[in-house]
Amino acid sequence: MSKNVFLRDVGNIRSQLIDLCERGRYASAQFMLAGAGCNAQTHPALWEYLARQSAAAGVAAVAHAARRLLWEAGWRTADVALSEARHFLDAGDHVTAVFLIEHVFGKLPEDPAARLLLARCHLETARARGAEGPTRTDAEAAQQLSDGIAPETADDLLLLVDLLRFAGEFDAALAQLAAAADRFGGDPRLTMRAASIQEQRGDIAAALALWQEVTRQPGPTRKEALFRQIAAQARLGRSDAVTAEAGALLRERLSLAERIRLALLMGQHGMVEALTDQASQGGDPADPLGAIEAAEIGDMLLDAGYIGLVHWLRRQKLGVSERAKTVLEAVGLGLQAERAPRRSFATSVTLRSPDFMVPIAEFLQLPPKPAGWPGEGRTPEKLLLVNFSLAAGGAERQLLELVKALLADRLTPDQIDVACFTLARDRGHDRFLPELQALGVSVHNLMTRRIANRTLPPEAERLISALPLPLRDDTRAIWHLVNELRPDVLHGWQDKSALACGLVGHLLGLGRVVLSLRNMSPETRRDPDLVRLRALYGDFAATGHFRLTANAEAAIADYAGWIGCAPERLTLLRNAVDDSRFSPALRAPGAAGTAPLRIVGIFRLAPNKRPLLWLRTVAALARQCGRPLCPVIHGSGPLGPEIVTEARALGLDGIEIHSGSTAPEDLYGSADLVLLMSRVEGVPNILIEAQACGIPVAACDVGGVREAMHDSGLLLPADPAPEAAAAALAAWLPAALTTDPARRVAFAQRRFGRTALATRAMALYCGTAEEP
Amino acid sequence: MTGRPQRLGVMGAWGDPALQLLEDAYPEADLIQITDPIADAGGVDHLILCTQDLALAHFEALLRAGLPCTLLLRRPRAAADQLVFQRGLDWLAAALGPRLPTGWRLAALSAAAAEEISGLMGHPVTPLPGLPKISADRPVLPLDRRKEMQTFAFGTGSGPRETRRTRIDQYNWVRLRRLAVLHAADAQDRDLSDLVAYANGTAAAGPAARPASPPCVISVVPNGVGLGHVTRMMAVGKALQRECGARVIFWSFSRAAEIIRAAGFEVFLRQTAAHLDAHPPDWRQWETLEFAAALRQFRPGAITYDGATFDPFMIDALNQPGCGRCGVAWIRRGMLQRGSDAQLLEAEEYCDLVLEPGDVAISCDAGPTRTREAQFKGFSRYHYVPPVTLKPYLQSYDRRRAKRLLSLGMGRHCLVSLGGAFGNWEELRGLIEKHAAQQRVRLIWARSPLAPAPKGTSAQTDIRQLYPLGSYLAAFDGVISATGYNSFHELMLAYDGPVLLAPTNQDRLDDQVARASYAAERGWAELYRVDTPQPQEEIVARFMADVRRGARVAGRPDPQYGADEMARAIATLAARYR
């Protein structure tokens, strides 16, 4: 009897299979089954046994081979599908994994394991795409997959939470966490996720409380929570807390990567350089840098724009990530490249992104344009306006005013597109969306917009991939939209959008690019993230066919001084006020001379607006002025709790603090006086609107305040003491309250009318504005 | 800090002036540049960190190291950095807490800086020990770190003042403050103002001069072709020993190290990147560290270098902490070929002194050292001296003794010395051998210590490996020679027999043809052009006939040697850095 004949006996085959598996000889078992002619179609149970046993023993190749044969033989069981899906998921092939699950379990599996695995597939797919921008999952799929499922482990719960939060479904994600709090309450990762979600939705104070909760618990998550806590304090503008907590963290034993992260967080460039120098020498001698930490350091530096240091690390043979290597090679900083900085660390320090790519046109090797290009043009067929969001802010309101003005002039709704980086409802980023949509213009949400092909042309990728974050993501997002729409005019509104629009303007060779810088220069505003992009501002100012605008003469002078260009390179594009909404008609009848005087402040409760100085000034005025006062603040922000405490301490018990009110009549209807005490301002809309309503205004002489104020208003010194400011107010008030309001109204309508805005903007779009 | 520690561990960025100036602040200390407070704690007595950035970067490790520690706190370099500066100090203050750790001290470069920083941090901050003023007359150098080049007026002693430009990142500030009176020209760079105030010193500060003793000079010898550089540097070395008892140490990339050692000098034999087949940047980094270690150990007052191109390792090493009290003298001969790259002149920028050994043929020098000027001369001064050869330092033998030492015996002898390893001498060799045989002149072939034996010479030809040749010239009735600087000048200044010069400009920088032509035009020598198609047998025949008859040549220039003058200039330079 031949061996084959003997082996055809299934019982013997099974015995031999069991024997081989018990001895760990899975490959032999696979060959034995194949050699015995037991294929998966005829003997699926044997192959399934082999698949399970080999998988349990960690012999993935044999297990996968067995399952593949089973799948091809039509033996598509739940177990086979799930195991194969995990296999493909681990290999990074999310698409095949989704196919396997949906083929067996359908689009919305009832089986919890299948549903969780499908959720993981979606999340991993989003993360893989996230290499080209923020991670985003599909909201509908996230809701469906997480609905009605009770995760059994904390990891499963976090999976679903992540799926939801990356879809922007923050409330649902928090609800998942809350529902499972009892079961996994001791796991600090849940608190950390909740904190991250609160950050994403913009509730930094809530996030901070959660991070503080985690830092009180010892364990491996504490250090990460400390970092996040410091970042949250910084976002809240609590610099003292940032310093104190970062000081405490400095006394802890941190890895080199952690110290660099802390230095970046604290904006201490010299410290970043010192630590990178140490990293380039291999790190702490007692604890040399590992490959993962080295790559992490390289990526952090790349994201922060320290491209020369990344190059230095690579030259010093410290392992950097494949991403970093690709970027270095693409921008001519390969190991052998000519652009490579010469020999010293000090030289590498000076090579920063985006500065090293300036002039951008040269970097992209664009043919030079003749002076005056593209000349006078026609009315644009397509205008794309880009802004960060449509939140309830002054700049956003001005964007709306601009669109209204353009529509009232000569453009039609189909000629105007508006794009925003975010329109998240739960963060209030869509405040003006309905009003804008009602005008009939197209509005694009860059965060959720589907992009069919994410691949950029090599030149665009070369430039964009070397940019620091978040400019890199912003530029990438806008590039796809602009490439699709091909507008005649691209108009970036506010610095963040303007910077990305300028780069896209270069990349796509647009003839008309208008970049509206608002407020004051980043240096005046003490915005460290924008300050480091000064070279880019300089490039745009030097690019002949780009037109930079600012909304005040003071802003122009401030920007020009900071950029180092002639003020003529910036065009004045004043704000506009909607005189149909802001007029004396909405004011209540004037208060009697003995009634409490309603002093209104409308500002964000943030350090730049100096709300505490506002309170102290009002308190001093209450002491100096014979008339009772009723202070009213409209606004919200990180300093809310401090303001309440300070008001109480100052005896301003009758103070009214409102948040969320934006209706003109709520803001100005009962105001006798509008007072601003900001440290930095551009042209405050509040002053213009108040005067359009006929209300007297007083403000510190900063930025464009002087330009926004009728001569009947009160200009206080830029940095006044409360008592002195109150004395000036007390002296000014009697005349201010009796001045004819019509004078203020006429001033606001004349200088800040919508028609003037439209005329100026159309001149920029058509190329008929004065040549700088 | 009370009592100056012997081993001072310093942490600072490469090229940081504050780090460099510590050499003058603590002249008795051994400055040891460290990168990690924990790993290096055992090797130092005290730590100095040159910026608050370093203190922040290593704060926990500094606490753990437990060493006395000075944190040098610096003001910002630009107005835009003011906020970062304040935040950094706030952060450091928060980490320090209300009381400084034991043995820690906060310091600043100036009293004004100390007062400001103390006010910001709420801790006492004291100025670093002051530096002594430099009394020597020197130019004023306005400094602005935003500019790559600094421009200043430089008095050369003769003629009008020159406008010069230089890059400051190549100077150790210990050296720079001896070269110039510094002036901060960027009002926003407050760190620069502090550095300048500190570097210019105060009259009240104690003397930083080293005890008077014979200077030490390190002579860097490139791996050039032939023995020209080595010979000239040995001549200068001998002169330095004779003039001021200097200790002369050779840092030699030349394979002639044994010759230098045999001449009684200390030698460090070094390897070039090419010798090691090493990646040049890696090699340079290594050589920089090695050379810096030598500078710290021997504390030379000057480095001398004889070569056409400067390798940056020397300048990089001078920038290291503890290496700044040292001048640079470049011994650069003239007579470069007309088309030589003038870029090589730019190394003048690195130097205190450019010393040119004279050339008797200088009037026909059309090379860049004579016709062009360096774009950036830095603080260098130029000094021309008479020709430099080893001759004055060699024992000269009379004819009888020299012949005996060379075992030459009776009859006419002609020395053939055609240089190290280059030149196409086939035709000349045939002619020499032919006419030497006709005239019964015995040929003695000089073999360079660096070269293989001449190929294809006849069995009757004698070969001698002689170095230096100058001692033995009297033994010969005639000399056939290449026209390198040393052989040419030894022959023209110290030999009266017939000379046949066979110059070649191939593979070399100097214009041997011009030099030889100059001598031939004046009847000092016969000229044989290797590179001409014209028949030249008659020249060789005439020369051999002269040798045969024992002819003497009159009218060659009077012997004048410049090594002593050169040595005096180097000794003066070294004294400036004492």
Segment A691-705, tens digit of pLDDT: 999 999 999 999 889
Task: Please check the confidence at residue B12 and state whether its pLDDT lies above 90.
Answer: yes
Substitution target in A238, A243, A297, A316 with the highest count of B β-carbons within 10 Å is A243
Cβ-based neighbour number of residue B343 at 10 Å: 12
Could you read off the pLDDT of B41-63 as tens digits, one per residue?
Answer: 888 999 999 999 999 999 999 99
Our CA-based measurement puts residue A274 at a distance from the nearest CA of chain B, in whole angstroms, of 6
Which amino acid is it at B443? L
Q: Residues of B with CB below 8 A from A273's CB? A: 13, 53
Which of B35, B57, B93 is facing A281, going by the closest CB pair?
B35
What is the pLDDT, as a whole number, of residue A368?
Answer: 84
What is the pLDDT, as a whole number, of residue B421?
Answer: 44
Q: Is B43 on the interface with A (CB under 8 A)?
A: no
**What is the rounded (10 degree) CA torsion for A140, A144, A147, A151?**
-110
Contact criterion met (CB < 8 Å) for A251 and B60: yes
Eight-state DSSP code of residue B380: -
Candidates A517, A608, A502, A506; CA nearest to A560 is: A517
Largest separation between any pair of C-alpha atoms in chain A: 121
Could you read off the pLDDT of A468-527 as tens digits, one per residue?
Answer: 999 999 999 999 999 999 999 999 999 999 999 999 999 999 999 999 997 789 988 878
Task: Please check the confidence at residue B39 and state whether its pLDDT lies above 90.
Answer: no
Pick from A126-130, A724-728, A768-772 the range whose average pLDDT is largest: A724-728
**Fold (topology level) of A383-516+537-556+564-572:** Rossmann fold (3.40.50)
CB B408 within 8 A of CB B475: yes
Mean pLDDT within B272-294: 91
Strands (E), A115-240: none
Contact criterion met (CB < 8 Å) for A247 and B95: yes
Between A222 and B450, the higher pLDDT residue: A222
Task: Please check the confidence at residue A107 and state whether its pLDDT lies above 80.
Answer: yes
Q: Is B274 on the interface with A (CB under 8 A)?
A: no
What is the pLDDT, as a whole number, of residue B458?
Answer: 58
Report DSSP letters for A635-693, one per residue: --STTHHHHHHHHHHTT-TT-EEE-S---HHHHHTT-SEEEE--SS-SS-HHHHHHHHT
Task: Please check the confidence at residue B358 and state whether its pLDDT lies above 80.
Answer: yes
Q: What does the angle CA A194 – CA A195 – CA A199 come to, to the nearest 5 degrees?
A: 115
Our CA-based measurement puts residue B174 at a distance from the nearest CA of chain A, in whole angstroms, of 19
Helix (H, G, I), strand (E, B) or coil at A481: helix
Q: Is B421 on the interface with A (CB under 8 A)?
A: no
Contact criterion met (CB < 8 Å) for A278 and B57: yes
Could you read off the pLDDT of B198-235 as tens digits, one per residue?
Answer: 999 987 766 556 666 889 999 999 887 678 889 999 99
What is the pLDDT, as a whole number, of residue A29?
Answer: 93
Substitution target in B53, B72, B77 with the highest count of A β-carbons within 10 Å is B53
Task: Please check the confidence at residue B468 and state whether its pLDDT lies above 90.
Answer: no
Q: Is A336 on the interface with B (CB under 8 A)?
A: no
Mean pLDDT within B91-106: 95
Q: What share of chain B is helix, strand, coil (3-state, %, to 5)?
A: 40, 20, 45
What is the pLDDT, as a whole number, of residue A2?
Answer: 40
* C-alpha–C-alpha distance, residues B175 and A658, integer Å: 66
* C-alpha–C-alpha distance, residues B44 and A482, integer Å: 61
- Residue whose entry in the numeric block shows the structure tokens 């004949």: A5
Q: Residues of B with CB below 8 A from A281's CB? A: 35
Domain covering B394-549 in this structure, CATH number: 3.40.50.2000
Mean pLDDT within A387-396: 89
Confidence of residue B4 (pLDDT cuts 50, 70, 90): very low
* β-sheet bridge partners, residue B249: B218, B266
Task: Please check the confidence at residue B507 and state whether its pLDDT lies above 70.
Answer: no
What is the pLDDT, as a whole number, of residue A460?
Answer: 95
Strands (E), B429-573: 441-446, 462-464, 478-481, 499-501, 526-527
Domain positions in chain A: 383-516+537-556+564-572, 584-752
Helix (H, G, I), strand (E, B) or coil at A590: coil
Q: Is A251 on the interface with B (CB under 8 A)?
A: yes
Q: Residues of B with CB below 8 A from A270's CB? A: 51-53, 88
Count of pairs with CB atoms under 8 A, one residue in A, one in B: 96
Confidence of residue A149 (pLDDT cuts 50, 70, 90): confident
Q: Residues of A with CB below 8 A from B65's CB? A: none
Could you read off the pLDDT of A19-59 as tens digits, one per residue?
Answer: 999 999 999 999 999 888 888 888 999 999 999 999 999 99
Our CA-based measurement puts residue A494 at a distance from the nearest CA of chain B, in whole angstroms, of 22
Task: Please check the confidence at residue A454 and state whether its pLDDT lies above 90.
Answer: no
What is the pLDDT, as a whole number, of residue A3?
Answer: 45
* C-alpha–C-alpha distance, residues A390 and A432, integer Å: 5
What is the pLDDT, as a whole number, of residue B366?
Answer: 92
Which amino acid is it at B311? D
Confidence of residue B155 (pLDDT cuts 50, 70, 90): confident
Task: Please check the confidence at residue B241 and state whether its pLDDT lies above 90.
Answer: yes
Between B40 and A256, the higher pLDDT residue: A256
Confidence of residue B460 (pLDDT cuts 50, 70, 90): low
What is the pLDDT, as a whole number, of residue B467?
Answer: 77
What is the pLDDT, as a whole number, of residue B452?
Answer: 61
Contact criterion met (CB < 8 Å) for A244 and B94: yes
For residue B287, what is the enclosing H or E element?
helix B280-298
**What percent of chain B shows pLDDT beyond 70?**
94
Eight-state DSSP code of residue A148: T
Q: Is A528 on the interface with B (CB under 8 A)?
A: yes
Eight-state DSSP code of residue A633: E
Cβ-based neighbour number of residue A208 at 10 Å: 24
Helix A394-409 × helix A754-766 angle, to 10°: 80
Q: Is B280 on the interface with A (CB under 8 A)?
A: no
What is the pLDDT, as a whole number, of residue B221?
Answer: 92
Please provide the average confidence, as pLDDT, over all residues in chain A. 89
Substitution target in B11, B40, B52, B59 with the highest count of A β-carbons within 10 Å is B59
Confidence of residue B419 (pLDDT cuts 50, 70, 90): low
Contact criterion met (CB < 8 Å) for B14 and A344: yes
What is the pLDDT, as a whole number, of residue B49?
Answer: 97
CB B282 within 8 A of CB A316: no
CB A392 within 8 A of CB A423: no
Which of A268, A343, A346 is facing B56, going by the closest CB pair?
A268
Which of A251, A267, A284 is facing B87, going by the closest CB pair?
A267
Q: Among all residues of chain A, which has the CA nearest to that of B51?
A: A270
Our CA-based measurement puts residue B496 at a distance from the nearest CA of chain A, in whole angstroms, of 52
**Fold (topology level) of A584-752:** Rossmann fold (3.40.50)
CATH of B216-388+562-576, one of 3.40.50.620, 3.40.50.2000, 3.40.640.10, 3.40.50.2300: 3.40.50.2000
Task: Please check the confidence at residue A657 and state whether its pLDDT lies above 70.
Answer: yes
* C-alpha–C-alpha distance, residues B455 and B464, integer Å: 14
Task: Please check the confidence at residue A243 and state whether its pLDDT lies above 50.
Answer: yes
CB B329 within 8 A of CB B455: no
**What percent of chain A shows pLDDT beyond 70?**
96
Confidence of residue B568 (pLDDT cuts 50, 70, 90): very high
* C-alpha–C-alpha distance, residues B251 and B257, integer Å: 9
Task: Please check the confidence at residue B454 and state whether its pLDDT lies above 70.
Answer: no
Which structure tokens are listed for A18?
């069991």
Q: Measured in Å, how far apart are chain B's first and last C-alpha atoms?
A: 25
What is the pLDDT, as a whole number, of residue B429?
Answer: 86
What is the pLDDT, as a whole number, of residue A8?
Answer: 56
Substitution target in B10, B20, B35, B73 with the highest count of A β-carbons within 10 Å is B35
Q: Where in chain B is the domain with CATH 3.40.50.2000?
A: 216-388+562-576, 394-549
**What percent of chain A shows pLDDT beyond 90?**
61
What is the pLDDT, as a whole number, of residue B1?
Answer: 46
Q: Is B42 on the interface with A (CB under 8 A)?
A: no
Mean pLDDT within A286-296: 90
Q: Residues of A with CB below 8 A from B63's CB? A: 251
Mean pLDDT within A720-737: 94
Substitution target in B87, B100, B168 with the highest count of A β-carbons within 10 Å is B87
Q: Among all residues of chain A, which has the CA nearest to that of B53?
A: A271
Mean pLDDT within A460-468: 96
Substitution target in A238, A240, A250, A347 with the highest count of B β-carbons within 10 Å is A250
What is the pLDDT, as a whole number, of residue B98?
Answer: 93
Q: Is B76 on the interface with A (CB under 8 A)?
A: no
Under 8 Å CB-to-CB from A179, ≥6 apart: which residues? none
Q: Among all residues of chain A, which has the CA nearest to that of B84?
A: A268
* C-alpha–C-alpha distance, residues B310 and B346, integer Å: 9
User: What are the backbone dihedrals phi and psi of residue A610, each rounded to the nearest 5 degrees, phi first?
Assistant: 50, 55
Confidence of residue A590 (pLDDT cuts 50, 70, 90): low
Q: Among all residues of chain A, which has the CA nearest to that of B312?
A: A343
Sheet containing A656-658: order of strands:
A656-658, A629-634, A597-602, A673-676, A697-700, A714-716
Eight-state DSSP code of residue B202: B
**What percent of chain B shows pLDDT beyond 90?**
67
* C-alpha–C-alpha distance, residues A72 and A255, integer Å: 50
Please provide the average confidence, as pLDDT, over all residues in chain B. 90
Candidates B517, B538, B518; CA nearest to B529 is: B517
What's chain A's Rg over C-alpha atoms?
Answer: 32
